[in-house]
Amino acid sequence: MWRRGFVIYLLLIIIAFIGYVLVWGQISLWGRTVITNLLRIFPFGNIIIILLWGRFSINNPLVQFFYSLHFIFPFILLLLVVIHFYILHIKGSRNIFSILNNNEKIKFYNYFLVKDIFTIIYLIIFLFIVIIKPIILLDRENSIKANYIISPIHIQPEWYFLYIYAVLRSIPNKVGGVLFSFIIIILIYLLLIINFSFEFKSFWVNKIINCLVVYIFILLSWIGAKPVEYPFLAIGFIFSVRFFIILLFKIGFSYILKNILR
């Protein structure tokens, strides 16, 4: 279930990015430029970028291509959500002990009821922002018409990309930054699919690690919104490395507790 959920999450991120760069504004233009130029780290990256752009610079062909993807991907996302709900209905949810015995499953009340209430509250806030205040979270500089000659003083993605953007820019080497960002995403994926032992879930060390992960996630999001200068680069590098170490430690410690110490 977690694997499908993570794929849905990644697809949602792609849809959010593609929709954001469709706007012909300054931040969207330079966001397209930064992200597509990351392909240069791969073999034949320059050729891939030219084929993706459709020209030797970002222009209408790339925007039209992104628009097509932005139209198609939501239908794929909807299909994945339907499949996810269908399999969840057939197999059911795991309980806190990770046991699939029908007699030990979590009851709907009060665990899932509370989660659904928070989901409804979130949807109300989401609809309020989308329908009534659609620009409340947008960068004001994106209201400026895109200009290839003048780049914004401070380019930053939307808030849901800030943590990974902080990791990406904290590594001095471009290739190293991209690879390190992918490694952290893979570690987060491993955290979701690994069936941690109940002993580790209830262990006080795991609770401290979870608190540190949330703390570093918030701090990296804050760093990602700051200018690319000292001391933010140094702080971002330090906590990016700590984020990597903590995720790796949680996976390794749980494996040792589950398979070796038993």
Residue 138 CA from chain centroid, whole number: 18
Distance CA 187, CA 72 (A): 29
Q: State the burial class of residue 16 (Cβ atoms within 10 Å of its Cβ: 0-12, 13-18, 19+).
A: middle
| 89 carries an active-site annotation | yes
Q: Name the catalytic one among 57, 68, 104, 116.
A: 116
| 139 carries an active-site annotation | no
| 254 carries an active-site annotation | no
Q: Name the catalytic one among 84, 105, 158, 201.
A: 158
Q: Name the catalytic one among 91, 98, 115, 207.
A: 115
| 115 carries an active-site annotation | yes
Which residues have a Cβ under 8 Å from the Cβ of 91 and sit 6 or more positions away?
Answer: 1, 100
Distance CA 70, CA 190 (A): 28
Distance CA 189, CA 184 (A): 9
The three-state DSSP-derived secondary structure of 62-79 is HHHHHHHHHHHHHHHHHH
| 116 carries an active-site annotation | yes
Residue count (the chain): 262
Which residues have a Cβ under 8 Å from the Cβ of 227 and sit 6 or more positions away?
Answer: 153, 154
Distance CA 216, CA 35 (A): 24
Q: Name the catalytic one among 57, 93, 143, 151.
A: 93
Write out the catalytic residue numbers: 89, 93, 115-116, 158
